[in-house]
Chain A
Amino acid sequence: MTTVYEKSKMLTDAPMSYCPGCTHGIIHKLVAESISELGVEGRTVGVAPVGCSVMAYNFFACDMVQAPHGRAPAVATGLARALPEGVIFTYQGDGDLAAIGTAETVHAASRGENIVIIFVNNAIYGMTGGQMAPTTLPGQVTQTSPYGRDVKTAGYPIRICEMLATLDGTAYAERVSVNSVPNIRKAKKAIKKAFENQIAGRGFSIVEVLSTCPTNWGLTPVEALKWLEENMTPYYPLGVYKDITAEEGK
């Protein structure tokens, strides 16, 4: 018998605290597999956020720090500067990264810090019960937008990858999705590439991963995959927004 697929050794035995069918777990697997395949688990330090992934330090089998309230990129900056050989990443939700910690995110990118950001965009504040996030879609019903997000008063969703791609300090920005097996394979490639960039000292890499929140979207896990495809991808197109390695190759 040959093993075709088994749980990554870069994940601990702790049962994940996510709701059934929440794709946070799939993204954890891709991060873990990438770090393992690159053989850098011994020098990797991850930074967990606030939000449902606040306890990510229980799940990744590498050194981890927990940085509350959107400050993960600032903590990662310190780690990357203190540990030049370190492989430093953050794992952040959209409430954490695109609202609470927008300043830290933008400035880490503009400084070209040598870190990887895994940005989990599920268009909602998950952990706190489904409030509207900056990434909530126009018209999307949440706890705090019961009639749907009204852009006249609540503004428009922020496209983080497009925004950060305009900064000279950003080396790599790609948006992927984990709503199907082919998309998961592409997401894995992007995440691994971001880690390769970090190891090569190329600077700031962000991979935005469109993810589901079945619980707060009020859908079954399978329905949520479809909702993501039909509603999130049109507003948040998948693709590479910046890649300095591709530009160098031109």
Chain B
Amino acid sequence: MANRVTVNEQICKGCGLCTSVCPKKIMVIDRDKLNAKGYNPATVSDIEKCIACAMCAIMCPDSAIKVEKE
């Protein structure tokens, strides 16, 4: 089982701060998706690589990320 990273897609503003700090480079902006506000939300590309460091969540100004460790 992998760690779990949940992005609240409706709250996310697609700012990219989380993607800039993820040491595994697995936090990415999903260009194929739009939320109700018109932003491309962040998503995890490969959860198997996640080390649950929570850097993405600490950096998110909108508290849109929850990180759980297996």
A residues contacting B by CB (< 8 A) are 1-8, 11, 15-16, 18-26, 28-29, 180-181, 184-185, 220-222, 225
Contacts and interface: CB of A to CB of B under 8 A. Distances in A.
Contacts of A4: 52, 54, 57, 67-69
Contact of A20 (B14, B20, B69): B14
B13 A20 contact: yes
Given A1-B4, A4-B68, A181 B13 contact: no
A104 to B, nearest CB: 28
A28 B63 CA distance: 10
Contact of B55 (A2, A16, A181): A181
B19 to A, nearest CB: 8
A221 B16 contact: yes
A189 B41 CA distance: 30
Interface residues of B, number: 26
A29 B16 CA distance: 18
Most buried by B among A4, A23, A185, A221: A4
Contact of B69 (A1, A6, A184, A222): A1
Contacts of A5: 54, 57-58, 65-67
Interface in B11-48: 11, 13-17, 20-21, 39
Contact of A21 (B54, B55, B61, B67): B61
B30 to A, nearest CB: 15
Given A4-B54, A222-B16, A22 B68 contact: no
